[in-house]
Homo-oligomer: A and B are copies of this chain.
Amino acid sequence: MDSSILSEKINHTLSTLRYGENPAELYEPIRYIMALGGKRIRPLLVLLAAEMYDKDVEKALLPAAAVEVFHNFTLMHDDIMDKAPLRRGQQTVHEKWNANTAILGGDVMLVRAYQLLLGVESDKLQKVLQLFSQTAAEVCEGQQLDMNFEQREQVSREEYIQMITLKTAVLLGFSLELGAILQGAPEADAEHLKAFGDNIGIAFQLRDDLLDVYGDQSKFGKQVGGDILSDKKTFLMLTALEQANEQQLHIIHNWRNQQDDCIAADKVQAITGIYDQLSIRQQTEQQIDLYFQKAMQHFDAVQLPEARKRTIRGLALQLMERDS
């Protein structure tokens, strides 16, 4: 099936979900964040993996929705913690309402995510919920590490990879694994798809770090250099900090905490200049390639005819080639 047809199925399923009515103060913010949209990439991964094993993906629809509801729960809570004013160009829930509403709304969303998984066939229910719970806890661990790193002076690249693995990648891996399990895929296949998703997720996040600096402004959704301006400890910055000489370190430290709009272009140019001197772009591309190769090795190990694997393989290649 064309992935746009699957996306339609996802959007239709999400539009039929009922979170609750009373009190309205609790449920309105949930409908609001779910209506903000987004690429719905996680439920799409569930369905794509499911489709490889059985064209009939009906029984994967609500579990796919569960993953999207869970993802939006993490966004609602992360936005409070990060004091983010905007989400997909709209006010975040804690800004539009207040932090208490966003805490409680997120709590209910986590419960609703579990409930959407309760329709899973009974012989698979325990395993699915165990994997989901483990993933959910890992995503929380990733968010905690992310907050820890903001407070720390030194963060190694290995620690950074660990953080993005937990915060972002494991949910992509779980989405694929879930789709496979629901359709009765062999355990080895499900595990390879999980590892494929985890590694693609890491590559994807590193690519995001790279595009922030070297992306094409006309195609990249966000402001180029945004991570540099906000002193974010991205893979590029951590690599630079590890490899910079004293003079370069001095420049980096001098620009830190300077977030005035009027010096923005100078700051981005100065830091990018150091990245260029240290070949940070090439080093990051190498890392992306490494995780991408790892991902594809796991994908290749999935025991299915190539024709069944074409859609996901195409999507993976496309994600890696995007420059926006």
Residues of A within 8 A of B (CB): 20, 22-23, 25-26, 77, 80-81, 99-101, 103-104, 106-108, 110-112, 114-115, 118, 122-123, 125-126, 129-130, 133, 136-137, 140-141, 143-145, 147-148
Given A77-B104, A81-B104, answer yes or no on A137-B111 (Cβ-Cβ < 8 Å): yes
Alpha-carbon distance between A123 and B107 when the two chains are bound, in angstroms = 27
Is B126 a contact of A122 with CB atoms below 8 Å?
A: yes
Nearest neighbor of A108 in chain B, beta-carbon distance = B140
Is A107 a contact of B104 with CB atoms below 8 Å?
A: no
CB distance from A174 to the nearest CB of B (A): 13
Given contact pairs A107-B136, A111-B133, A125-B126, enumerate 11 new A-B contacts (beta carbons under 8 Å): A20-B137, A20-B141, A23-B141, A25-B148, A26-B141, A77-B103, A103-B103, A106-B107, A108-B141, A111-B136, A114-B133
Alpha-carbon distance between A118 and B80 when the two chains are bound, in angstroms = 30
Collect the chain B residues with CB atoms within 8 Å of residue A107's CB: 77, 106-107, 110, 136, 140
Copies of chain A in the complex: 2
Collect the chain B residues with CB atoms within 8 Å of residue A22's CB: 141
Alpha-carbon distance between A112 and B141 when the two chains are bound, in angstroms = 13
Is A137 a contact of B110 with CB atoms below 8 Å?
A: no
Is A115 a contact of B130 with CB atoms below 8 Å?
A: yes
Which of A22, A129, A140, A148 has the most chain B CB atoms closer than 10 A to its own CB? A140
Which of A106, A107, A123, A147 has the most chain B CB atoms closer than 10 A to its own CB? A107
Is A112 a contact of B126 with CB atoms below 8 Å?
A: no
Collect the chain B residues with CB atoms within 8 Å of residue A137's CB: 20, 108, 111-112
Q: Give the 4 A-B residue pairs with the shortest CB-CB distance, closest first.
A: A26-B144, A81-B100, A111-B136, A115-B133
Collect the chain B residues with CB atoms within 8 Å of residue A143's CB: 104
CB distance from A95 to the nearest CB of B (A): 16
CB distance from A167 to the nearest CB of B (A): 12
Of B25, B110, B144, B147, which contacts A110 at CB under 8 A? Answer: B110
Collect the chain B residues with CB atoms within 8 Å of residue A115's CB: 130, 133
Alpha-carbon distance between A22 and B163 when the two chains are bound, in angstroms = 11
Collect the chain B residues with CB atoms within 8 Å of residue A147's CB: 25, 100
8 residue pairs of the A-B complex, CB under 8 angstroms, read A25-B148, A26-B144, A77-B103, A77-B107, A108-B137, A108-B140, A114-B129, A129-B129
